[in-house]
């Protein structure tokens, strides 16, 4: 279906709008290049429509607008955004793009084009696309900026997708794209991605918090003005031109705090922060801007008392993503704590749009910020060291790019930067591969510590080595950096090859000495008697001395005699007469309880929002929608996620654990057990209570039919005089 006349007019209006918001177009030649790409993409996509029914070209236009206005990129990025789906979805090729727009734009479009072949058959397509994106990012970082814009628009228009795809795409966004936006300093995009992901992963939670936000907005705005007024007067007296804004926490960050602290919305007191943004002319030296930050902080803390241990100085030491600001927490006029953020306009621009705001998009440019160079170097190192194991690659990328850093010192006073959670062995390999291979322990602040010891900022570390040491397999369990893990694996592979070759020689000699006749099938069965079915593992264990084959003749005789009796179990498929259709919602009831598995990590019960994960054998594991394990599975194996709905369960009871807190009063335990056992007629499996002075807390495991039963019990318990809080525990 082609475009209607009305749609053609609207699309032409969008071109004018795109040019207006593209602040980095320098000349008429730039405008003409955008026009050329706009017309080509419009023609290529003219007969295509999105799931929502809109012309497909609305998507490339929206991505280009995000690239131009919300990230602030230049003409080549805008053109690439307009063309980003042309090669994948139409008859145009990368050669066509290169002929019409040049090598640079063709390279970006090529990086954005989705791969058609999966490198690792066990990984899902979206993870492989992420790997491809990271591979290309190491060559031209504009690819990642445009990809994030593409993801943002897809999240903004996710309503038209079926539920199972919404879950998959939202989980993938939380798992990969939001952390990546944060790492690149794209705070606004990161925040919106998280909020939109929450909207589709946990819609009830999202709308509940949104509603409470709206209800408290007027009161919150009045308080912000009350806090701002004396600060504004003080700045004017010092002739400092600045805007003071109130920044409200995102819905996702509020939910995250409610979840981690286990408190309701009403007990989240830092719902907003005050942001002071002062003028920073182009000829203003960065050093003067930093001094101005400290001057403004002094003015603020003269008005409002502040917490000494809650000053965050990212002016003296910017974050890895380029973020610079001074944060101080002060006591507001109503007696509550408020965070005040102080930035120059340049700092604010980088904070909102990331390092893309001031980068020339050439990795080796002397003007490109150092932290982006380090990011590119980290990516290249991860790619060089990694195998084709895609999920392992993904873990390495998340660890090496998304984590925060700590700073430690060598005995000579040199500073080394490592990720949060890094251990002594990570630092050893960061210093040099041979130091890592020979490491035996470390002196941390002059105290002897093992290689597994987790390092903290400010630690002084001396690595102790021995020529007799070699890498151990257990090191992988506490090494967290890609460099350390891959160096350990490389050394272990070399050692393994040595043992395999040695074991093969020993085995062949033994077989010849005994004159055994082994074909492929008999050799396979013989290995099973040593509990080592794989040939390489068998040879390795012989070479490493883990298997002794002195009894080889005896084992061979025993194995070949009973060879015909071997048999294999077959794993039944889910629903003998039922084919799973992951696009439809699976309805489960009493009859299905023995054919599904309830995940132990989140303990779902009927009434909870749930989704299913289909194992390779077609069995299904049910998780709660808010389960972090499900989020990880949906992000890495999203094609195995299905929509699932409960029907009412009345024949089956489910275990749940609740926690009760309150003031200890005479007969409290009797009142609680009466409400559960007599009033609600619910069975208890166990209960335990602790009392500290006049405060008690207890945990009870109950059997309920569904979440409504549980909700009714919690309401009844809260009516008991002295009970202050009742919460459901996931595990």
pLDDT in tens, 448-458: 888 999 998 77
Residue scoring higher pLDDT (550 or 252): 252
CATH dotted code for 5-203: 1.10.3210.10
Residue 285's pLDDT band, with cuts at 50, 70 and 90, is low
CA–CA separation, 683 and 654 (whole Å): 10
Quick check: 369 pLDDT over 50? no
Residue 155's pLDDT band, with cuts at 50, 70 and 90, is very high
Q: What is the pLDDT of residue 365?
A: 35
CATH superfamily of domain region 370-483: Beta-grasp domain (3.10.20.30)
Q: Which of 7, 8, 54, 89 is catalytic?
A: 89
Quick check: 65 pLDDT over 90? yes
Q: Three-state SS for 368?
A: coil
Burial of residue 716 (number of CB atoms within 10 Å: 0-12, 13-18, 19+): middle
Give the pair of three-digit tokens for residue 17.
Answer: 């709008």
| Among 409, 445, 442, 403, residue whose Cα is nearest residue 423 | 442
CA–CA separation, 135 and 90 (whole Å): 24
Among 269-273, 423-427, 669-673, 707-711, the minimum mean pLDDT is found in 269-273
Q: What integer is the mean pLDDT of 687-707?
A: 83
Residue scoring higher pLDDT (82 or 284): 82
Same fold, 370-483 and 654-729: no
CATH topology of domain 209-358: Beta Polymerase; domain 2 (3.30.460)
Instruction: Provide CB contacts within 8 A for 591, sequence distance 6+.
Output: none
Instruction: Judge whether 313 counts as a catalytic residue.
Output: no
Quick check: 118 pLDDT over 70? no
Give the strand order in the sheet containing 684-692.
Answer: 684-692, 695-704, 654-663, 723-729
Computed from CA positions of residues 225, 228, 234, 239, in that sequence, does the dihedral angle turn out positive or negative?
negative
Residue 341's pLDDT band, with cuts at 50, 70 and 90, is very high
| Percent of the chain residues past pLDDT 90, beyond the cut | 19
Quick check: 517 pLDDT over 80? no
Q: What is the pLDDT of residue 116?
A: 31
The pLDDT tens digits for 175-207 are 778 888 887 778 889 999 999 999 998 899 999
Extents of the domains making up the chain: 5-203, 209-358, 370-483, 490-565, 586-646, 654-729
Q: What integer is the mean pLDDT of 230-238?
A: 92
Q: How many residues does the chain have?
A: 731
CATH dotted code for 654-729: 3.30.70.260
Quick check: 310 pLDDT over 80? no
Quick check: 114 pLDDT over 60? no
Q: What is the pLDDT of residue 499?
A: 86
Q: What is the pLDDT of residue 395?
A: 54
Residue 375's pLDDT band, with cuts at 50, 70 and 90, is low
Residue scoring higher pLDDT (213 or 134): 213
Average pLDDT, the chain: 79
Q: What is the pLDDT of residue 695?
A: 81
DSSP state letter for 483: H
Q: Which of 32, 39, 88, 286 is catalytic?
A: 88
Give the pair of three-digit tokens for residue 227.
Answer: 């806090």
Q: What integer is the mean pLDDT of 37-42?
A: 92
Quick check: 371 pLDDT over 70? no
Q: Are 486 and 434 in contact (CB under 8 A)?
A: no
Give me the DSSP letters along 574-638: SSTT----TTSPEEE-GGGTTTEEE-TTT---TTS-EEEEE-TTS-EEEEETT-HHHHHHHHHSG
Q: Are 338 and 329 in contact (CB under 8 A)?
A: yes
Query: With b meaning 16 or more CB within 10 Å and e meaning fewer, what string describes 97-111?
Result: bbeebeeebbbbbbb
Residue 74's pLDDT band, with cuts at 50, 70 and 90, is confident
Query: With b meaning 16 or more CB within 10 Å and e meaning fewer, what string describes 168-204?
Result: bbbbbbbbbbbbbbbbbbbbbbbbbbbbbbbbbbbee
The pLDDT tens digits for 622-673 are 898 888 888 888 777 777 788 888 775 555 678 889 999 888 777 888 888 8
CA–CA separation, 603 and 630 (whole Å): 12
Quick check: 278 pLDDT over 70? yes
Residue 374's pLDDT band, with cuts at 50, 70 and 90, is low
For 15, list phi and psi in degrees, rounded to 5.
-65, -45
Q: Where are the beta strands (DSSP E) in 161-235?
A: none
Q: Three-state SS for 313?
A: strand
CA–CA separation, 668 and 675 (whole Å): 11
Q: Are 178 and 151 in contact (CB under 8 A)?
A: no
CA–CA separation, 695 and 662 (whole Å): 6
Residue scoring higher pLDDT (393 or 604): 604
Query: With b meaning 16 or more CB within 10 Å and e meaning fewer, what string describes 664-681?
Result: beeebeebbeebbeeebe
Instruction: Judge whether 7 counts as a catalytic residue.
Output: no
The H or E element containing residue 415 is strand 415-419
CA–CA separation, 598 and 253 (whole Å): 29
Burial of residue 482 (number of CB atoms within 10 Å: 0-12, 13-18, 19+): buried
Residue scoring higher pLDDT (274 or 693): 274
Q: What integer is the mean pLDDT of 385-406?
A: 54
Angle between helices 482-514 and 552-561 (to 10 degrees): 80
Residue 589's pLDDT band, with cuts at 50, 70 and 90, is low
Quick check: 148 pLDDT over 50? yes
């Amino acid at each position: 279906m082609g475009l209607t006349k009305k749609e053609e007019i609207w699309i032409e209006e969008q071109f004018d709008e795109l040019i207006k918001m593209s602040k980095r177009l320098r000349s008429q030649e730039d405008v003409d290049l955008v026009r050329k790409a706009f017309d080509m993409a419009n023609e290529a996509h003219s007969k295509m429509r999105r799931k929502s029914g809109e012309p497909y070209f609305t998507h490339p236009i929206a991505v280009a607008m995000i690239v131009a206005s919300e990230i602030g990129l230049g003409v080549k990025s805008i053109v690439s955004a307009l063309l980003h789906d042309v090669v994948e979805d139409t008859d145009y090729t990368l050669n066509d793009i290169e002929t019409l727009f040049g090598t640079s734009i063709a390279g970006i479009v090529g990086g954005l084009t989705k791969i058609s072949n999966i490198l690792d058959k066990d990984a899902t397509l979206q993870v492989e696309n992420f790997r491809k994106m990271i591979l290309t990012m190491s060559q031209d970082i504009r690819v990642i900026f445009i990809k994030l814009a593409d993801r943002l628009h897809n999240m903004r228009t996710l309503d038209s997708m079926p539920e199972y795809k919404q879950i998959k795409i939202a989980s993938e966004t939380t798992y990969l794209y939001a952390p990546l936006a944060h790492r690149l300093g794209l705070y606004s995009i990161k925040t919106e991605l998280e909020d939109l992901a929450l909207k589709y992963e946990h819609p009830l939670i999202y709308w509940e918090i949104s509603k409470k936000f709206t209800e408290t907005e007027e009161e919150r705005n009045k308080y912000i003005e009350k806090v701002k007024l004396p600060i504004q007067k003080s700045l004017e007296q010092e002739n400092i031109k600045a805007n003071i804004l109130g920044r409200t926490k995102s819905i996702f960050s509020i939910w995250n705090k409610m979840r981690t602290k286990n408190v309701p919305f009403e007990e989240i007191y830092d719902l907003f922060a005050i942001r002071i943004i002062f003028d920073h002319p182009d000829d203003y030296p960065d050093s003067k801007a930093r001094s101005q930050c400290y001057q403004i902080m002094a003015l603020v803390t003269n008005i409002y008392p502040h917490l000494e241990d809650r000053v965050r100085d990212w002016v003296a030491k910017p974050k890895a993503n380029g973020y610079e600001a001074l944060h101080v927490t002060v006591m507001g006029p109503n007696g509550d704590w408020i965070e005040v953020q102080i930035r120059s306009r340049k700092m604010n621009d980088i904070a909102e749009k990331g390092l893309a705001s001031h980068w020339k998009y050439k990795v080796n440019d002397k003007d490109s910020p150092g932290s982006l160079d380090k990011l590119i170097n980290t990516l290249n190192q991860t790619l060089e060291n990694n195998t084709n194991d895609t999920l392992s690659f993904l873990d390495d990328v998340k660890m090496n790019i998304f984590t925060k850093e700590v700073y430690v010192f060598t005995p000579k006073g040199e500073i080394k930067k490592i990720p949060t959670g890094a251990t002594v062995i990570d630092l050893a390999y960061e210093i040099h591969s041979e130091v890592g291979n020979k490491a035996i322990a470390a002196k941390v602040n002059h105290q002897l510590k093992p290689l597994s010891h987790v390092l903290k900022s400010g630690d002084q570390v001396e690595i102790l080595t021995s020529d007799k040491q070699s890498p151990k397999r257990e090191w992988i369990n506490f090494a967290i950096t890609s460099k350390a893990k891959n160096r350990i694996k490389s050394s272990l592979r070399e050692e393994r090859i040595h043992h395999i070759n040695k074991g093969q020689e020993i085995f062949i000699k033994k077989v010849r000495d005994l004159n055994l006749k082994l074909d492929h099938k008999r050799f396979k069965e013989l290995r099973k008697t040593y509990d080592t079915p794989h040939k390489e593992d068998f040879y390795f264990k012989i070479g490493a001395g883990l298997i002794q084959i002195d009894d080889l003749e005896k084992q061979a005789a025993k194995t070949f005699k009973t060879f015909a009796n071997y048999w294999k179990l077959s794993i039944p498929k889910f629903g003998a007469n039922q084919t799973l259709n992951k696009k439809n919602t699976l309805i489960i009831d009493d009859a299905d309880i023995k054919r599904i598995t309830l995940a132990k990590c989140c303990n779902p019960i009927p009434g909870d929002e749930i989704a299913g994960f289909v194992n390779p054998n077609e069995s299904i594991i049910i998780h709660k929608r808010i389960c972090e394990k499900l989020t990880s599975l949906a992000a890495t194996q999203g094609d195995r996620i299905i929509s699932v709905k409960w029907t009412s369960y009345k024949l089956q009871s489910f275990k749940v654990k609740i926690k009760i807190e309150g003031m200890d009063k005479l007969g409290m335990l009797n009142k609680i057990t009466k409400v559960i056992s007599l009033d609600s007629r619910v069975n208890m499996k166990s209960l335990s209570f602790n009392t500290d002075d006049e405060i008690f807390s207890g945990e009870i495991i109950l059997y309920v039919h569904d979440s409504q039963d549980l909700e009714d019990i919690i309401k009844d318990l809260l009516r008991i005089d002295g009970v202050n809080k009742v919460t459901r525990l996931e595990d």
